[in-house]
Chain A
Amino acid sequence: MLFGINVLCLGIEGTAHTFGAGIVDSRGKILSNVSKVYVPPKGGIHPRDAAQFHAANAKPALDEALQRAKVKLNDIDLITFSAGPGLGPCLRTAATAARALSAWLRVPILGVNHCIAHVEIGRLTEGAEDPVTLYVSGGNTQVIAFDAGRYRVFGETLDIPIGNCLDVFAREVGLLHPGGPQVERLAREGKNYIPLPYVVKGMDLSFSGLMTEAVRRHRSGEDLRDLCFNLQETAFAALVEVTERAVAHTEKKEVMLTGGVAANKRLRGMLKLMAKEHGAKFFVPQMELCADNGGMIAWTGILAHEHGVRQRLEDTMVKQRWRTDEVDVPWRSRK
């Protein structure tokens, strides 16, 4: 609320394969949240192809978001967009859409950090106040917790994100994109333990060696179901261990899981057990909000805007490698 007036915000997400348009008001009500997801015909995501998909789907997504929210374009008070981190061409497409709308409607524009938006939408809908968040997707792997005025990264991947590890493994062994769900399905039938590289370096993780070794084992004839099982068990144990270290270090009493890989039931189960052992509450937003979406960009934009964060149109360049701990979060630090 700004001076008691309910602000209507349109959030545009476009960091990777999803183009999202979400409309949220400053009471935290999500009026609509439309996502168009680019699925590559084969192989992985090519940034340029994904960006072209976004450009083609921007108007349909926007129309649908307005229609579902039952509002008109002129009712929008604020435009926010995912300014990073993400794939350059995708980010620039979403930013271009946001700038055009902002200029046309003569309403303020604000770039939002994608990773922080994932945390904020979970805090809004799940009622988590101060969680240690494990954010796992095809493009990101971070353990995030609020400390001394900022969202700080208590652990992250040193090479590839976990979602990418699962997807590339799946592709290399002949499963379809997105590979995560396929690996999860096959893992349920795996039984035999195969030692695979387990890499935790201090607070950080590494999955590239694990992925390569799993692919190599497949080529040398190891059972695919066993490999899927062990790939998951090894990677997830490392993720939970690093999250656990952050919980032990910060002594926070809430754990949240988000990002596309949050769909994995085994990972949920493991993290829930860990949280329980530390007497912490466990939260997972509904999958629509775990995945990339415009609603989270809208809501985080509202929080920032209400606390005085402003941007001029000419300052809205995208930041492909925007770090979580570079972002000022006055809505949490000035309480």
Chain B
Amino acid sequence: MTLMKKGAEANLHLEDFSDVLHPAGAGQVIVKHRISKRYRVPKLDLQLRESRTALEAKLFADAKVAGVPTPAVYEVDRVGMRIVMEFIEGKQVKLVLDRLNPAERGKLCHLIGRQIARLHRAGIVHGDLTTSNMILTRQGRVFFVDFGLGEYNPSLEARGVDLHLLKRALQSIHFRITDEAYRAVLAGYRREFGKGAGEVIERAEEIERRGRYIPKEERTWH
């Protein structure tokens, strides 16, 4: 049992299929374990962990049906707060995005935008669109591997927040290429979402303007 990643919310372990699920199985699996947080009161802690575990498993499956690559879920344990899922081999988009040449980067971002649109059309919002939650495989597929903050929400507002969050993530992690990357994401989003995409993008911009620290109608006084 290897601890692959100690996240804020859950720990990811890389384990052998045969150890966790079935002795005849081969290969490796990811066990996502939502750990208890001592800083939360027990009831809130339990409620957050259980609802997030169950919901995430369901979102993985429905995203796949919508045409967005996600790891296959093998088992959901609502008592132990664990999801056993497919191990996706590839590279975090976070690590490759800045290094790609602009053409490749544009293609990758375009694909990401299309996949976000597929989620939204299926009534899903991701809730945590950052490049560290996306795995690029050798076949050029982009897997969304964390739906821990996702939800079923077809509202314009939720979709707008989703896009806004991705922009914020690009600004904080990929600040040198934010604009070109986000533009390509939006182009992909428009292409896949079709009619109504403009409305979502406008809402994302409105949410950005609503933010507390955005210069707006900045008046100057002397």
The chain A residues found within 8 Å of chain B, CB to CB, are 85, 88, 92, 140, 147-148, 152-154, 156-159, 161, 193, 195, 198, 200-204, 233-234, 237, 240-241, 244-245, 247-249, 269-271, 273-274, 277, 314, 317-325
Q: Give the complex CA separation of A147 and B128 in angstroms.
A: 20
Contact in complex: B168, A203 (CB < 8 Å):
yes
Contact in complex: B9, A241 (CB < 8 Å):
yes
Contact in complex: A273, B168 (CB < 8 Å):
no
Q: Which 4 residue pairs spanning A and B have beta carbons closest together?
A: A270-B39, A202-B165, A245-B8, A317-B220
Contact in complex: B213, A277 (CB < 8 Å):
no
Most buried by A among B6, B37, B171: B37
Which one of B8, B39, B130, B213 contacts A323 once the chains associate, using CB atoms below 8 Å? B213
Q: Which residue of A lies closest to B45 (CB)?
A: A237
Q: Give the complex CA separation of A159 and B37 in angstroms.
A: 26
Most buried by A among B8, B43, B215: B8
Contact in complex: A200, B149 (CB < 8 Å):
yes
Contact in complex: B211, A158 (CB < 8 Å):
yes
- 11 A-B contacts, Cβ less than 8 Å apart? A159-B210, A203-B168, A203-B172, A204-B168, A237-B40, A240-B40, A244-B9, A320-B218, A320-B219, A323-B213, A324-B213
Contacts of B220 in A (CB 8 A): 317
Contact in complex: B38, A277 (CB < 8 Å):
yes
Is B41 in the interface zone, CB < 8 Å from A? yes
Contacts of B222 in A (CB 8 A): 314, 317
Question: Which chain B residues numbered 152 to 185 have a C-beta less than 8 Å away from chain A?
Answer: 161, 165, 168-169, 171-172, 175
Q: Indicate whether A321 sits within 8 Å of B216 (C-beta atoms), given known contacts A158-B211, A203-B169.
A: yes
Contacts of B7 in A (CB 8 A): 248
Report the count of interface residues on B (CB-CB < 8 A).
39
Q: Give the complex CA separation of A249 and B149 in angstroms.
A: 16
How many inter-chain residue pairs (CB < 8 Å) link A and B?
A: 108
CB distance from A151 to the nearest CB of B (A): 11
Q: Which residue of A lies closest to B175 (CB)?
A: A148
Question: Which chain B residues numbered 34 to 78 have a C-beta less than 8 Å away from chain A?
Answer: 37-41, 43-44, 47-48
Q: Indicate whether A233 sits within 8 Å of B40 (C-beta atoms), given known contacts A317-B221, A322-B213, A324-B213.
A: yes
Contact in complex: B8, A193 (CB < 8 Å):
no
Q: Give the complex CA separation of A270 and B39 in angstroms.
A: 5
How would you classify the secondary structure of chain A's contact residues: helix, strand, loop or mixed?
Answer: mixed
Which one of A153, A237, A274 contacts B44 once the chains associate, using CB atoms below 8 Å? A237
Q: Which residue of A lies closest to B5 (CB)?
A: A248
Which one of B39, B43, B212 contacts A156 once the chains associate, using CB atoms below 8 Å? B212
Q: Give the complex CA separation of A322 and B213 in angstroms.
A: 6
Contact in complex: A154, B41 (CB < 8 Å):
no
Is B134 in the interface zone, CB < 8 Å from A? no
Is B1 in the interface zone, CB < 8 Å from A? no
Contact in complex: A202, B44 (CB < 8 Å):
no
Contact in complex: A274, B172 (CB < 8 Å):
no
Is B207 in the interface zone, CB < 8 Å from A? yes
Contact in complex: B172, A154 (CB < 8 Å):
yes
Is B127 in the interface zone, CB < 8 Å from A? yes
Most buried by A among B9, B47, B221: B221
Which one of A88, A157, A198, A244 contacts B219 once the chains associate, using CB atoms below 8 Å? A88
Contact in complex: B212, A85 (CB < 8 Å):
yes
Q: Which residue of B lies closest to A232 (CB)?
A: B41
Which one of B37, B41, B213 contacts A274 once the chains associate, using CB atoms below 8 Å? B37
Q: Give the complex CA separation of A321 and B218 in angstroms.
A: 8
Contacts of A154 in B (CB 8 A): 172
Contact in complex: B161, A201 (CB < 8 Å):
yes
Which one of B9, B41, B149, B215 contacts A233 once the chains associate, using CB atoms below 8 Å? B41
Contacts of B29 in A (CB 8 A): none
Contact in complex: A321, B213 (CB < 8 Å):
yes
Contacts of A269 in B (CB 8 A): 39
Q: Indicate whether A147 sits within 8 Å of B8 (C-beta atoms), given known contacts A202-B149, A202-B165, A270-B39.
A: no
Contacts of A318 in B (CB 8 A): 221
Contact in complex: B47, A195 (CB < 8 Å):
yes
Most buried by B among A92, A201, A245, A319: A201
Contacts of A277 in B (CB 8 A): 37-38
